[in-house]
Amino acid sequence: MNYQMIWTGHTRTVATTADLAATLEEITIQTSTGLPMAVTVLPAGHEHLTPYDDDFPDCLEVGLGHPERAFVRWMGHDGGYGYQPDLPPGPAGLRFDYGGQPIHPEPHELRVSPPAARHAVEEFITTGQRPTHLLWQPAQ
């Protein structure tokens, strides 16, 4: 299955781990000169939908590009934020670019390391399921 990765001004189709690696590298280069990015990862063909549409698919929103912290949000059944239990809450005030607007994740939403966030995206595009290497807390 193909997936779309969408972030401010960009959409990339990802079908393989090589596609994913190239896209993650592109995001890393872009964030080196600005804010980290909030990236939506969803099955291809659904990028025109919003979370308010009845047929919106399970997907991930991932904060990428900060050197120490990331977020992983599951937008599906049993939605919520992924976290690593051994990682304390992140610092307050971190901003991510979400479609050209800054968002400010809560410290408890930033309990994911950048490698674990990348792994979550890889697991999702491989299985189509909520990543299993993170624990999950309900969205508040």
Encode burial over 63-81: b for 16+ CB neighbours within 10 A, e otherwise.
Answer: bbbbeebbbbbbbbeeebb
* Residues in Cβ contact with 66 at an 8 Å cutoff, skipping those fewer than 6 apart: 31, 36, 94, 96, 114
Give me the pLDDT at residue 44, please: 87
Q: HEC profile for 8-57?
A: CCEEEEECCHHHHHHHHHHHHHHHCCCCCEEEEEEECCCCCCCCCCCCCC
| Global confidence as pTM | 0.91
Give me the pLDDT at residue 53, please: 66
**Tens of each residue's pLDDT in the chain, 140 residues:** 899 999 998 999 999 989 999 999 899 888 877 899 999 999 888 777 666 666 778 899 999 999 999 999 998 878 899 999 999 999 999 999 999 999 999 999 999 999 999 999 999 999 999 999 999 998 76
Return the biggest CA–CA distance within the chain: 37
Closest listed residue to residue 46, CA positions, set 12, 98, 4, 1? 4
Give me the pLDDT at residue 45, please: 80
Angle at 42 between CA 128 and CA 86, to 5 degrees: 65
